[in-house]
Structure 1
Amino acid sequence: MQTPVYRRIAAELATRLPAPGQRIPSTRQIMAEYGVAMATASKVIAHLRDEGLVYAKPGFGTVVAGAPSADPDRELVVRTAVTIADAEGLTGLSMRRLAGELGIPTMSVYRHVADKEELVLLMMDRVMALNPPPPELDPDRDDWRVCVEALARLQWSMYRRHMWLAQAISFTRPLLAPHAMAHTEWTMRALEGHGLDPNTQFRAAVTVANYVRGTAVNLEEEAQAEQDTGLTDTEWFATQQHRFAEVIGSGRLPLMARFMATPGHELDLDILLDYGLTRLLDGLATQLT
């Protein structure tokens, strides 16, 4: 296959780039020198930028980047990706963004991961590896409920620190992450010897984990809403009181009206998690011997 024109021009320009910090030819200069259209000239600069050779300097133009750092190892790549996702979510994480943070060409990232799906898998497994099941508990000897609840709350704390994590985990198409699977194994061990067949034992472990994960999905949306509006949930709710009053005052929702008039009616995710987890474990207890 013939190399695209923009790639040939980019390769030629790469051999004669000026010193770091100096401007490279503009799109119009590339058009004039190589006799190509504006779209092709723009692709040339975009390709050089994707390779980490240049970057856009606001108010100045596109300039040559500094010398790339040494090629990182996979652990650094994954650790950096986790840091980006913690700050900007999975939508803010791209191979180009990651390469820029590492100071390497975009294509260099692919030496360590095949694609973004594999990258996210490694990120998830790294977080799980850093948060193993509670070492102070032994699921083979300690009370099953204490063990299962402790692991659920550990997972909740992980989701709070890494709000992208709940979006990354799937229980219908699970990613084969060894440390994540170890969480499921730990819960199954806590349920071992209580009369459950293997299928029920596995489903119980996944159901508890998925309840925590399903509640945690709201954390990122909650944080994004606070960032967009500049209001906490409590502050936002206060601004909506008149609208709630209109709906509740209609008389069509008497039970909701009673609830809203009750002290301590916060719509808080931690409260919802506590309530739901307790009821879930209560239900599970009825199946155990």
Structure 2
Amino acid sequence: MASQSGPPFRRIADEIARRIAEGTLAPGERVPSTRQIAREWGVALATATKALTVLRLEGLVEARPRVGTVVAAREPAPVAQQRAPARHRAASTALSDHELTRERIVRAATDLADVEGLGAVSMRSVAARLGVAAMSPYRYVNSKDDLVLLMADAAFGEETYPDEPPQGWRARLELAARTLWRIYRRHPWLAQVGSLTRPLMLPELMTHAEWALAALDGHGLDPETMLDLHVLLYSYIHGIAVHLEREAQAEAATGLSEDQWMDHQAPAFAALTTATRYPVFTRVTSTCKDGYDLDLDALFEFGLKPLLDGIALMIETPPSRRP
């Protein structure tokens, strides 16, 4: 039975460790997320994050991007044997305030957002992940809002472009689109930051904008049209990417995978396809070969071609005949 003494995060960590030791949670199986811990034990997200951090330091769990925190593959020792040495391991693994840097804070916050979502990021949760005092990150970052901007700038800076661009505007725009898509795929939370009408003024994001605008430059397009086409391409990528994090949030909230959720919707779907009000929908969905699976990666590639085809028509149309 878990200890009833000690700080809340320690009691939570001990209880999850007990479940792992008893086999209730098997290797590779997801452990409760920070949101689930907060809900089950009635604690703050920072406390939940600290509990998971302790378990990671003890080697009982590991974080897997877009999967969550899972039970580590190796066989854990009994809780009673772990507790005393675990505190020494946690103390030796945690950073001291002298070792803390802005870059480490941003990296820790990014890792947390990649696994748990942007909502799990706070100054306290990042401090808990790093094993430092709750107020220590404020010496390097003023607020959570500033931290999220630093995270976004760092994420956009993870991909660069070749010094020698490929031949032709289309190849350059394809490269820009796929580069941004890879970044959003790696960091699904990123699409939740900022909006199209209030763009982020981030140096690393501007690198992608500069590349796209340079691809459109020199083809007789007026400045407004160049900017419109750039925003259209960016919004296309961003508009699909925003659903990466929403799907992860929905799965965390419901406990259902996308396929499981669709199975639950079968009665409602059947009711729609048997109604007479939607004949085209019924015909199309019933005659789809092997059914229709919405794959965001496939949808991104599918939509990119007609979008670039439309830009090609504008570029290849003489300026005097453009609308």
The equivalent position to 2:306 in structure 1, one of 279, 282, 285, is 279
Measure how far apart 1:102 and its partner are: 1.8
Distance (whole Å) between structure 2 residues aligned to residue 68 and residue 127 of structure 1 = 23
Which residue of the partner structure matches residue 103 of structure 1? 131
When structure 1 is superposed on structure 2, of 102-111 and 185-194 the one drifting more is 102-111
Percentage of identical aligned residues = 45
Task: Judge which range, 66-75 or 113-122, deviates more.
Answer: 66-75
Is 1:115 the counterpart of 2:143? The answer is yes
For residues 182-261 of structure 1, the aligned pairs below 5 Å read 182-261=207-286
Structure 1 segments (4+ residues) deviating >4 Å = 65-68
How much does 1:137 deviate?
5.7
What does residue 293 of structure 2 align with?
266
Which structure would you say has the larger Rg? 1
CA distance in 1, matches of 2:114, 2:181: 15
Match of 1:148 among 173, 196, 218: 173
Q: Could you tell me the TM-score, scaled by structure 2's length?
A: 0.65
> Structure 1 CA distance, aligned partners of 2:157 and 2:264?
42
**Segment drifting more, 198-207 vs 117-126:** 198-207
Contact 1:137/1:147, CA 8 A, preserved across alignment: no
Worse-matched range after superposition: 217-226 or 85-94: 217-226
Quote how far apart the aligned CAs of 1:68 are. 6.5
Residues 101-110 or 176-185, more deviating: 101-110
Q: Which amino acid aligns with 1:125?
A: D
Compute the displacement of 1:170 (Å): 2.6
Residue 60 of structure 1 is matched in structure 2 by none
Tell me, which stretches of 5 or more residues in structure 2 are unaligned? 8-43, 51-86, 317-323
* Residues 1:288 and 2:312 aligned together: no
Cα shift at 1:82 = 0.5
Offset from partner CA, 1:115-153 (integer Å, 9 cap, x none): 1121111111111111123x28606xx121111122212
Deviations for 1:69-117, whole angstroms, at most 9, x for unmatched residues? 1331111111111111111111100011111112222322122112112
Output one character per residue of 1:202-227: Cα deviation in whole Å (capped at 9) or x when no partner. 22112211111111111111123334
RMSD of aligned Cα (Å): 3.0
Change (3 A) 1:23 1:273: closer
| Cα distance in structure 1, aligned partners of 2:236 and 2:183 | 14
Displacement of 1:230 in angstroms is 4.3
User: What letter matches 1:122 in structure 2?
Assistant: L
Q: What is the deviation of 1:179?
A: 0.8
What amino acid maps onto 1:148 in structure 2?
Answer: L
Partner of 2:41: none
Letter in 1 for 2:270: A
Q: 3-state DSSP class of the match of 1:286?
A: helix
Q: TM-score, normalised by structure 1?
A: 0.72
2:114–2:188 contact (8 Å) kept in structure 1:
yes
Aligned residues: 232
Counterpart mapping for 1:172-191 below 5 A: 172-191=197-216
User: 5+ unaligned residues in a row in structure 1: which ranges?
Assistant: 1-21, 25-45, 53-62
Contact 1:95 1:116 in 2 (8 A): yes
Please tell me the residue identity of whatever aligns with 1:111. Answer: R
Q: 1:93 aligns with which of 117, 121, 143?
A: 121
Please identify, of 263-272 and 146-155, the stretch whose mean Cα deviation from structure 2 is larger: 263-272
Q: Could you say which residue in structure 2 is the equivalent of 1:31?
A: none
Quote how far apart the aligned CAs of 1:229 are.
4.1
Asked if the contact 1:215–1:269 (Cα under 8 Å) also holds between the matched residues in 2, the reply is yes
Aligned runs of 1:159-178 on 2, under 5 Å? Answer: 159-178=184-203
Residues of 2 paired with 1:249 and 1:286: CA distance? 42
